[in-house]
Structure 1
Amino acid sequence: MPEDWGGNTPVVQISALKGKNVNELLEMVMLVAELQELKANPHRNAKGTVIEAGLDKYKGPVATFIVQNGTLKRGDIVVCGEAYGKVRALLDDTGNRADEAGPSMPVQERISAKAGDGKVTLSSLASAVAGGKLSGLDLHQLNIIMKVDVQGSIEAVRQALQVLPQDNVTLKFLLHATGDISTSDVDLAVAINAIILGFNVRAPGSVKSYADGKGIEIRLYKVIYDLIDDVRQAMEGLLVPVEEQVTIGTAEVRATFSRGSGRVAGCMVSSGKVVRDCGIRVMRNGKIIFVGALDSLRRVKEIVKEVSAGLECGIGSEGFDDWEVGDVIEAFETVQKKRTLEEASASVAAALEKVGIEL
């Protein structure tokens, strides 16, 4: 409440336009600060508040900053939320360059500021894994450094990426800021094993060369849908492929023969082909009685690599010799198949359902 109304708050009538009582206001501020013992230590690391941030066409990322404690110097490393960087220049309230800024001094610094918290979690899943209820799940994290043209693009890009299933691969935005990609971004990517995404920004040739030398990938985009597609591919690239058994042929056992201490099957290949060292399933009366490898393949006593449909051959397996006439042999090859995020998500959901967790 103002002093005139019985309170303890001083009031000074001023006009910035006419310059009226500006000095009186400053004197009153100093008096109140002295009476309330409002002090700051200029000899400690700087701490303050960003009141405005943006991307200047000529200066790059800038922030208007009020130093509340300590002294901010050119070249200092500053952190604001999840963003960080080095102060490349300081400008005072008149636009002149300054080497340092003390308490209560407003300055503009060439540095980026934060927008959003970038936090992605799956707490129930993490608890289940930590508790030993789940094991063998294909879980990964894709670390991202994102640079954009304006602050509003940060949330736009992040919201667009939320359409991607993240049950197996979570997206972790470890830095998101405005401005072109720099070597400091590359250094951070090396330290945290991240990819760098740029939306409507540039990566100078020197930065690209620096990134290539460090083994860091920089991806630049103008269209948000291209960014989403590439991030999907990067996420799916982290998933462990699944093994699929693809049938390549079948054969029927027509006779059995002794071979040393074991037996081999005399067969007719009825479809496809059989290949030496391929996998085989032995079927008897519609049931699988053996799964193993085809170790020996002969045709008219000669060792061959494969036999096609309509030809006879001798088949042997070190793990099985209980052949009977009429057995059906299915030959298969094991192939690696990449999984989509949706397929991996379904696998996680099924695993979680077994332990009573809804994803």
Structure 2
Amino acid sequence: MGYNVIIKNENKSKKALKNNQKVLNKKCIKKVRPPVVTIMGHVNHGKTTLLDCIRSSNVADHEFGGITQHINAYHVKTKKGVITFLDTPGHDAFTSMRSRGVKITDIIVLVIAGDDGVKPQTIEVIRYAQESNVPILVAISKIDKPESNPEKIKKELMKYNILPEEWGGQNIFVNISSKNRESINELLDSILLQSELLELTAIYSGLASGMIIESYLDKNKGVISTILVQQGILKKGDVILCGLEYGKIRSIQDSFGCELQSSEPSIPVKILGFSGVPISGDFFTIIEHEKKAREISISRKKKFREMKLYKTKKITIDNIFDNLNNKNNVFLNIILKTDVQGSLEAILYSLNNIQHKNVSIKIVYANVGNITETDVSLALTSKSIIIAFNVQVNISIKYMIINKNIDIRYYSVIYNLIDDLKSIVLGLLSPQYNKKIMGIAEVRNIFKSSKSVIAGCMVTKGIIKRYNHIHLIRNNLIIHEGELESLRHFKQDIKEVNTGKECGLSIKNCNDMNIGDIIKSFEVIKLKI
């Protein structure tokens, strides 16, 4: 048409990040880097105990419920080189955490208890690794136990294309005992051998980038984030940007708590400086100027609010008629506060899996950090219960909760929380009952007295019991539902009458009985939901 199109409103944040990347890639210095190894496997198969053995620490004894509930990151110096280890939870609620572990790992050490074998989370890890093309090194643990059977496990893993090298496969198998420190050095040597074959390198110059492993809010220090640098050099004083959040790095500490001035690739560190809690699993980058980082953060937050508002409106419009039709639906409003971002993610995932067709769980608010006065006020106005997972409540807030009669529940183990919420959901449902027919009687005679009408009956099927519920049926229609007033055999009061026997009975609040009517006796059984 003879016109030239000029794009003037190019997204400033994207442009800024592109320019930033140019700075990152300027004068690249590539070097061999340490491998990032993720310890994975089924719950209670000895992942953290193995890492304790490698680090000579005692983490497992301090974990609530004896299970890992966060991703823990450490680096270990061996005689042959440095290895970075990530310890992921094995409980099924932490699927997203394990998935995140696979995203940043070079090698997976799949821990399988020799006395237990292949389990659901074992299979899940294999699937993740195969989808991501990450090599698996199998550590068969607890071989000190008499019931341990490594050969059986090798055969079980054949179904998932995990074969030991001696059987013509590509997977290294090591039989270990963390308790006796058996074959631990052999495992470390195997990891470093696999690392050499992968030829792992990283850029050891320029601005850093990497991933947030875990993040939480400390009431004294502020936001603490465990991060893994993947490229470049992270320095104290750098301006960091991740998702919606940014900040200036005030402190860098290694996994042993030592203060650092900088950090290189593949070394996990804890940093202070983010303005808010970044989302675990998000990628971060270092920005040259704080002003630029703030502009990008504000722009992203604005877009996030717009999308959230749009989704809320869309859901309301789409579901308005469903809500009108489902008058029996019950809503459970929840305010969720957790210690770290990963736990928040795992609990929200679990809540989605326990919803019932007649009970809707609504997350009114979910965030990382201790219970605040705002949380309590919100719980009061929205009629929510507060779920506190590994977080604290100060005395003034506790008094406020008691005075306002707010339902708050404290948890330190995720599977206890999930089980309790399932019970709460089921408890909100109206009980459902089933009627089990116990016996049938036919009215053969009618005897009238000044007080009531007595029906002379023959029990044709089953058993008629004195305290069972009954239906009085005439011409195939139920004309009365109630209970028996009396049940007699001749002049004797009895509790029950069996098939083929006669009886006399009267029905509470019912004198309308005719010859030929049918009386059905039934028990009311409460159904399990």
TM-score by length of 1: 0.52
| Aligned counterpart, 2:455 | 265
Q: Which residue matches 1:355?
A: none
Does structure 1 conserve the Cα–Cα contact (< 8 Å) formed by 2:331 and 2:360?
yes
Q: Please name the residue that 2:376 is paired with.
A: 186
> Do the aligned partners of 2:386 and 2:407 also contact (CA within 8 Å) in 1?
yes
Structure with the bigger percentage of helix: 2
1:143 pairs with one of 310, 326, 333: 333
Alpha-carbon deviations, 1:57-77, whole Å to 9, x = none? 6245699xxxxxxxxxxxxxx
Asked which structure has the greater CA Rg, the reply is 1
Q: 1:213 to 1:268 in 2, by over 3 A?
A: farther
Are the aligned partners of 1:145 and 1:189 in contact in 2 as well (CA < 8 Å)? yes
In structure 2, what is the equivalent of residue 72 of structure 1? none
* C-alpha distance in structure 2 between counterparts of 1:335 and 1:255, whole Å: 32
Alignment of 1:106-121 (within 5 A): 121=315
Work out whether 1:159 is the aligned partner of 2:321. no
Report the Cα offset of residue 251 of structure 1: 4.2
Structure 1: distance between partners of 2:322 and 2:513:
45
- Structure 2 residue aligned with 1:212: 402
Higher alpha-carbon deviation: 315-324 or 146-155: 315-324
CA shift in 2, pair 1:254/1:337, >3 Å? same
Alignment check: 8 A CA contact 2:465 2:495 kept = yes
Matched, 1:256 2:446: yes
TM-score (norm 2): 0.37
Alignment coverage as a number of residue pairs: 238
- In the alignment, which residue of structure 2 is the partner of 1:3? none
In the alignment, structure 2 segments of 5+ residues that lack a partner are 1-214, 226-247, 252-271, 280-303
Do the aligned residues in 2 keep the contact of 1:62 with 1:111 (CA within 8 Å)?
A: no
Shift of 1:191: 1.7
Identity of aligned residues (%): 31
Per-residue CA deviations over 1:145-196 (Å, capped at 9, x if unaligned) read 1111122332222112111235322222222222222343222211211111
1:201 and 2:391 aligned: yes
**1:1-359 alignment to 2 at 5 Å?**
54-56=216-218, 58-59=220-221, 121=315, 124-130=318-324, 134=325, 137-204=327-394, 207-247=397-437, 250-259=440-449, 263-267=453-457, 271=463, 273-275=465-467, 279-283=469-473, 287-294=476-483, 296-297=485-486, 299=488, 307-309=495-497, 312-316=503-507, 318-319=509-510, 321-324=512-515, 327-332=517-522, 334=524, 337=527, 340=529
Distance 1:184 1:111 in 2: 19
Residues 301 and 156 of structure 1: CA distance in aligned 2, closer, same or farther (over 3 Å)? same
Distance 1:144 1:333, change over 3 A: same
Note closer, same or farther for the CA distance 1:297–1:94 as it changes in structure 2 (3 Å cut). Answer: closer
Native 8 Å contact 1:290 1:320 kept in 2: no
Does the 8 A contact of 1:296 with 1:316 survive in 2? yes
Letter of the 2:320 partner, please give it.
A
- Amino acid of the residue matched to residue 465 of structure 2? K
Q: Residues 129 and 58 from structure 1, CA distance in 2 versus in 1: closer, same or farther, beyond 3 angstroms? A: closer
Q: What does the per-residue CA deviation read over 1:308-356, in whole Å, with 9 as the maximum and x for residues that have no partner?
A: 235833324544634325x542233556656x3xxxxxxxxxxxxxxxx
1:204 Cα deviation from its structure 2 partner: 4.0
Q: Aligned AA for 1:198? A: A
Conservation of the 8 A alpha-carbon contact between 1:161 and 1:228? yes
- AA at the equivalent of 1:315: S
2:435 & 2:395 partners in 1: Cα distance? 47
Q: Secondary structure at the match of 1:138?
A: coil
Residues 78-114 of structure 1: CA deviation (Å, up to 9, x unaligned) = xxxxxxxxxxxxxx9999xxxxxxxxxxxx9999668
Q: Distance in 2 between matches of 1:251 and 1:182?
A: 65
User: Aligned with 1:162: secondary structure?
Assistant: helix
Deviation at 1:55, TM superposition (A): 1.3
Which amino acid is 1:127 matched to? F
Deviation at 1:144, TM superposition (A): 1.0
**CA root-mean-square deviation:** 4.4
Q: Distance in 1 between matches of 2:334 and 2:406?
A: 12
Q: Does the residue aligned with 2:353 lie in a helix, a strand or coil?
A: coil
Change (3 A) 1:114 1:239: farther
Hey, what's the Cα distance between the residues in 2 that align with 1:148 and 1:177? 7
Residues 55, 179 of structure 1: 8 Å contact kept: yes
**Could you tell me how far 1:238 is from its partner in structure 2?**
2.1
Contact 2:250–2:273 (8 Å) recurs in 1: no
Over 3 Å counting, the alpha-carbon distance change for 1:329 and 1:114 in structure 2 is farther
Tell me how far apart the structure 2 counterparts of residues 158 and 111 of structure 1 sit (CA, whole Å): 23
Where 2:328 maps in the other structure, the secondary structure is: coil
- TM-fit CA distance, 1:202: 2.5
Distance 2:356 2:278 in 1: 24
* 1:221 to partner: Cα distance: 1.9
SS in 2 for 1:237: helix
What amino acid does structure 2 have at the position aligned with 1:58?
Answer: N
